């Protein structure tokens, strides 16, 4: 919890990596907060970076410069269009102790930069799951360092990680974790339940903007796998990718073809998923794409769930995470709500920035 007395007239210095949909939503939230702050907590964005270039000003980028960056990125251009841009390799050298590095990219290549930032006294806030889901030998620093926050990596703006941490800080221990962690696949399962075919459900999700440009990135379950790894590692279970069995929602035979070819063939999956949906219905159940996590293993894939259960009652793109702990044994804790979207994800990141800034000031 943030103490308002400690945030009064304080400025958090932030470097933002990534100005996609989440990054732009975050910048707009920061601009709005700075103009309408109620608690005196301000945020100086001293740097922004995309995959091509960075713009850095130690005294903080002005609102005009931030809006310039937003306009450029809204137009699909790179930060190389801005005057005084730096190369990405110059970011690390410019970092100073107390700065918060915010990673809202989808890059596999930020882990070493973030680890270096921590070693120089910086804080790290992540919406990017990849540094947390890489090999444990590289990822473990992000789970043990007090200056790291990553609420938005699981459930977007939902208080999943903070609930987990609160349980641990109270001395509770975990037995298992179960959840629906993909808004895209949750939506598809709801559509199948309503009677849509697989191809109809997928195309509907795509038209609504729920899927990646290549929907196989959602359907292969890799994103859910990463979230399962993050949850497991957060409770002290250092699982690796090989410890998790993942069931994709399409066959290998449709892997090595173009997106257009894939979309032209998805109707061939209609019969299989209609059969699986009917089997669940006959049993009084419904299909959900579920992650089931235990101390030494996890399973990610389609599961038949009771219709009136917490998972079975979900609709649309809702997420849910259920914590089965020793304190909450007979009635596990559930956190549910919208688990995707740029704005709610950005809100989760902003909350982490403010919380971490207070924590870092206490430590200095």
Tens-place pLDDT, residues 162-189: 999 999 999 999 999 999 999 999 999 9
Measured CA to CA, the distance from residue 168 to residue 146 in angstroms comes to 14
pLDDT for residue 4 is more than 80: no
> Structure pTM?
0.93
Q: What local confidence, expressed as pLDDT, does residue 89 receive?
A: 73
Interval 7-26 mean pLDDT: 88
Of 59, 30, 61, which is closest to residue 48 (Cα–Cα)?
A: 61
Task: Verify whether residue 71 is a known catalytic residue.
Answer: no
Of 53-57, 191-195, 261-265, which gets the smallest average pLDDT? 53-57
- Per-residue pLDDT tens over the stretch 185-237: 999 999 999 999 999 999 999 998 888 889 999 999 999 999 999 999 999 99
Of 71, 227, 292, 295, which residue is the catalytic one? 227
Which residue ranges form the domains of the chain, and what is each CATH number? 4-156+343-362 (3.40.50.720), 174-339 (3.30.360.10)
Q: Write down the mean pLDDT value for the chain.
A: 93
Cα distances from 173 to residues 139, 145, 235, in angstroms, run 22, 20, 8
Measured CA to CA, the distance from residue 150 to residue 54 in angstroms comes to 23
């Amino acid at each position: 919890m943030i103490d308002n007395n400690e945030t009064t007239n304080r400025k958090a210095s932030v470097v933002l990596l990534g100005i996609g949909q989440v990054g732009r939503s975050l910048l707009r939230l920061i601009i709005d907060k700075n103009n309408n702050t109620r608690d005196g907590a301000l945020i100086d964005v001293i740097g922004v970076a995309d995959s091509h270039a960075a713009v850095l000003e130690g005294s903080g980028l002005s609102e005009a410069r931030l809006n310039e960056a937003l306009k450029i990125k809204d137009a699909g251009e790179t930060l190389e269009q801005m005057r005084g841009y730096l190369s990405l390799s110059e970011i690390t050298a410019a970092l100073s102790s107390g700065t918060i590095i915010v990673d809202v990219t989808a890059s596999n290549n930020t882990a070493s930069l973030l680890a270096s930032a921590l070693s120089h006294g910086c804080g790290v806030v992540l919406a990017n799951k990849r540094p947390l889901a890489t090999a444990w030998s590289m990822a473990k620093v992000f789970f043990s360092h007090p200056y790291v926050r990553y609420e938005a990596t699981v459930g977007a703006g939902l208080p999943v990680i903070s609930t987990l941490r609160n349980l641990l800080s109270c001395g509770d221990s975990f037995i298992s974790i179960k959840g629906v962690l993909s808004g895209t696949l949750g939506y598809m399962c709801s559509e199948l339940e309503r009677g849509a075919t697989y191809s109809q459900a997928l195309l509907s999700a795509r038209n609504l903007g729920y899927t990646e440009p290549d929907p196989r990135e959602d359907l292969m379950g890799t994103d859910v796998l990463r979230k399962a790894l993050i949850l497991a590692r957060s409770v002290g279970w250092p699982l690796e990718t090989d410890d998790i069995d993942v069931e994709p929602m399409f066959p290998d035979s449709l892997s090595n073809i173009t997106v257009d070819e894939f979309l032209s063939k998805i109707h061939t999956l209609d019969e299989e998923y209609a059969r699986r949906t009917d089997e669940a219905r006959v049993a009084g159940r419904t299909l959900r794409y579920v992650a089931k996590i235990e101390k030494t293993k996890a399973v990610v894939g389609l599961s038949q769930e009771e219709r009136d259960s917490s998972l079975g009652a979900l609709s649309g793109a809702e997420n849910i995470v259920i914590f089965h702990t020793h304190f909450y044994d007979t009635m596990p804790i559930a956190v549910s709500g919208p688990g995707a979207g740029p704005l709610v994800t950005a809100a989760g990141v902003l909350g982490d920035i403010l919380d971490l800034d207070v924590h870092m000031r206490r430590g200095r």
